[in-house]
Structure 1
Amino acid sequence: MAKETLNIVVWSKQGCSYCGEVKQYLADKGITFKDIDLTNHDDRRDILEAKYGVRHVPVVEIGQGNQYEAVTDVGVQYIEEALRNK
């Protein structure tokens, strides 16, 4: 699967340094992504908890069509690994 066919969603919030690192990494690689900002929307954490069992950000969803893998570990290295496996 080529990177340009991937859909990437970053769940983040303002002031989160890890979120900023992930978004900067993707931008530097020229990878487009959708950002879902949880700032002032704590109810969106319920979605993360229901889907993946976590309430923290960043969470990065990588997929195509209806098949998504979530990277819930904090750190760019986990994003790199997930992208390599696609």
Structure 2
Amino acid sequence: MHLKVTVYSTPSCPWCRKAKQYFKSLGIPFKDIDVSKNQKKAEEMYRKSGQMGVPVITIGNQVIVGFDKAKIDKILGI
């Protein structure tokens, strides 16, 4: 099972870095979108999550606001 993982983040966000480190440690490829530089993607993130805070993580069609490791593990089945 290979779900598409996207991390909406900003360079100054420590929880974004933790989330990206976590996916790297699991060997899970992800798309990193810097919403501080991309207004269209920031709007897309807001549409998906209703949040302007980062990180917003999408795994398949699931949306996680913040670095919620338990929720990430549950969706990934680990």
**Alignment: residue pair count:** 78
> Match of 2:47, SS?
helix
| 2:55–2:65 Cα contact (<8 Å) kept | yes
| Distance (whole Å) between structure 1 residues aligned to residue 67 and residue 30 of structure 2 | 17
Deviation at 1:29, TM superposition (A): 0.5
Q: Give me the TM-score of the superposition, normalised by structure 1.
A: 0.76
Structure with greater Cα Rg: 1
The equivalent of 1:69 in structure 2 is: 62
Q: Which amino acid aligns with 2:64?
A: V
Flag structure 1 segments of 5+ consecutive residues without an equivalent. none
* Structure 2 gaps, min length 5: none
TM-score (structure 2 length as normaliser): 0.82
Q: Percent identity?
A: 31
Distance 1:13 1:73, change over 3 A: closer
**Which portions of structure 1, spanning 4 or more consecutive aligned residues, are displaced by more than 4 angstroms?**
none
